[in-house]
Amino acid sequence: MAPDLIAPSILSADFARLGEEVDNVLAAGADIVHFDVMDNHYVPNLTIGPLVCEALRKHGVTAPIDVHLMVKPVDRIVPDFAAAGATFITFHPEASEHIDRTLQLIRNEGCKSGLVFNPATPLSHLEYVMDKVDMILLMSVNPGFGGQSFIPATMEKLRQARTMIDASGLAIRLEIDGGVKAENIAEIKAAGADTFVAGSGIFSKGRDEDPHRYDSIIRQMREAMAGVGR
């Protein structure tokens, strides 16, 4: 079984102290930095771009950076994120005119590729490109904002995606994004996820409990998942 990876979404971090926030959450045991890129076009919000990704690398962040593109068009910005130090680059199929080409572009730029599925987007987009994805990301909220509630229908979709991955025999990670908390992470893992994005569930909750220390909330997530199969 692939290891569980916890991926704090820096969308809920304190942007005025971003480097320190990322250092702290990694020191607390997080595995991956989830980096939400929004363009006020594909989604109704505006966040951060390649300059901030590069700044985190220059700051000394060596952990994988998981760039979640909520932008349209996609291809223009892919090489910029590869040069800025992205590890994964995932995008929404609705945002690319040529999904296969974009997946190839991401790998050709030296990054791991992934497709992101909105709550109402069918998994059928995967049918002819399974061999070109390293990550499948299921949105359990509609993209654009942190702090929303997990949409329950995503549980069944996770089970379907897990079945497809296992049948393919490929080493594809199954990531979940939106409304993930210590309280529901065990059920999400049991449904098939192996990579867990949490924004408000880590940064806001952790900050409430112990200002700018995230050890306890990440420990709670790991304890909840211990012994749960997928």
Tell me which residues are annotated as active site: 36, 177
* Cα(67)–Cα(90) distance, integer angstroms: 6
Structure-token pair, residue 90 = 């995932």
Which residues, numbered 32-51, are part of the site for Zn ion (CB under 5 A)?
Answer: 36
Question: Binding partner of residue 141 among ligand DX5, Zn ion, none, CB under 5 to 8 Å per kind?
Answer: ligand DX5
Tell me which stretch binds ligand DX5 (CB under 6 A): 9-17, 77-85, 100-108, 153-161: 9-17
Count residues binding Zn ion (CB under 5 A): 3
Query: Beta strand pairing status for 173-177 and 112-117?
Result: unpaired
By CB under 6 A, residue 148 contacts ligand DX5: yes
Q: Which residues contact 122 (CB under 8 A, 6 or more apart)?
A: none
Q: Which two tokens stand for residue 107?
A: 């790998």
Of 164 and 188, which CB lies nearer to ligand DX5 in the complex structure?
Answer: 188
Whichever of 144 and 211 has its CB closer to Zn ion, that residue is 144
198 binds ligand DX5 (CB under 6 A): yes
Under rule CB under 5 A, which residues in 149-178 are in contact with Zn ion? Answer: 177
Beta strands in the chain (DSSP E): 5-8, 33-38, 65-70, 88-91, 112-117, 135-139, 173-177, 195-198
Residue 21 in the binding site for Zn ion (CB under 5 A): no
Write down the H helix ranges in 88-214: 99-108, 154-168, 185-190, 203-209
Q: Residue 64 to residues 89, 133, 147: CA-CA distances in angstroms?
A: 11, 17, 23
Residue closer to ligand DX5 by CB (options 61, 197) is: 197
- String of contacts with Zn ion for each residue 179-208, x by CB under 5 A: ------------------------------
Q: d(Cα 131, Cα 221) in Å, to the nearest integer?
A: 31
The binder of ligand DX5 chosen from 24, 37, 56, 68 (CB under 6 A):
68
Rounded distance between C-alpha atoms, residue 176 and residue 154, angstroms: 9
Q: Residue 69: beta bridge partners?
A: 37, 91
Q: Which listed range, 18-26, 71-79, 96-104, 197-205, lies at the site for ligand DX5 (CB under 6 A)?
A: 197-205
State yes or no: residue 102 binds ligand DX5 (CB under 6 A).
no
Max CA distance (Å), the chain: 47
Q: Does 114 bind ligand DX5 (CB under 6 A)?
A: no
Binding site for Zn ion (CB under 5 A): 36, 68, 177
Binding site for ligand DX5 (CB under 6 A): 9, 11-12, 34, 36, 68, 141, 143-144, 146-148, 177-180, 197-201
